[in-house]
Copies of this chain bind each other. A is one copy, B any other.
Amino acid sequence: MLAAYAARADPADPLSALNVGDIDPPEVPADWVQVNVRAAALNHHDIWSLRGVGLAADRLPMILGCDAAGVTDDGREVIIHAVINDPDFVGSDATYDPARSLLSERYPGTLAVAVRVPRANAIPKPPELSFAEAACLPTAWLTAYRMLFTQSGAKPGDTVLIQGAGGGVATALITLGRHAGLRVWVTSRDEARGARAVALGAHQAFPSGTRLPERVDAVMETVGAATWSHSINALRPGGTLVICGATSGDNPAKAELTKIFFKPLRVIGSTMGTRAELISLTQMLITTGVRPVIDRTLPLTDAAEGFAAMINGDVFGKIVVEP
């Protein structure tokens, strides 16, 4: 079947590792359901996979993609929840399963004409959302929803600082935060990006690392080492730092343990979200009228063009591909 996949990895030139073509339909457990993909979306996670990060050689070739919406064989319109749990996982939160994986890590991903997932991972797609809009949600937007509304403890009227105005999660954080009654502040190394964040709904944009006019209730951190001390210093006592990534590295110059206990602060790690949170996110989009910004829509066969744009930083919003 037609799919975009990695047959090898290339840390230096990830695009060279991308294949788009026919591939044998993958084997997955017999009780999984087939979803015929109508729209999928690209993520930086796919580019990391093409570089070989988090994707062992013995799993290649691997179909890429963790975002999609489509139609099951029995005609239900669904959104894919990309967190695959161990069937014996006991717990109330799918992201706490030590054996969890994302689609395209252990099981074939969504950049294909069809993808198979456990029945529980095919979430009803509300008719108010198009397939393209729905395909943008399961990764960056779900991550943002959980960070703000499950993890941060922020209440309407609180101030939330988003470090780094650029990425997909940051864009979702700005939009969702603004429509939930939060005061949204962003930092950015780039003035144009800051302006775009304000156009998207941020109340105010600041240059990265700048001293803020007052302390904030929560910080949303995706940058890591480069912004860590600024994030810690930005918070009021009792404030919460939610971290879902560390694109600038894992090890800041100062770990700031003393500030964490003395100020004191809460640091909450967060990754992806649950099925219930994905449903809540779709309901929030319907209720508020918010929709993800789609940068462009491409045929699946042109996935390379989309990834090239992402690598060049030449993207604002999600890139959707249609098989």
Which residues of A are in contact with B by a Cβ distance under 8 Å?
A: 31, 87-88, 90-93, 95-98, 119-120, 123, 145, 149-150, 155-159, 176, 179-183, 203, 215, 224-225, 228, 236-238, 243-246, 250-252, 254-271, 274-276, 279-288
Contact = CB atoms under 8 A, between A and B. Distances in A.
Contacts of A254: 250-251
Contacts of A88: 119-120
Contacts of A243: 257, 260-261
B119 A280 contact: no
A242 to B, nearest CB: 9
Given A95-B237, A157-B285, A255-B255, 8 more contacts: A88-B120, A90-B276, A92-B93, A156-B176, A156-B284, A180-B180, A244-B261, A250-B255
Contacts of A92: 92-93, 274, 276
A251 B255 contact: yes
Contacts of A225: 255, 257
A264 B257 contact: no
Contacts of A280: 155-158
Contacts of A274: 92
Given A119-B88, A270-B264, A276-B90, A157 B257 contact: no
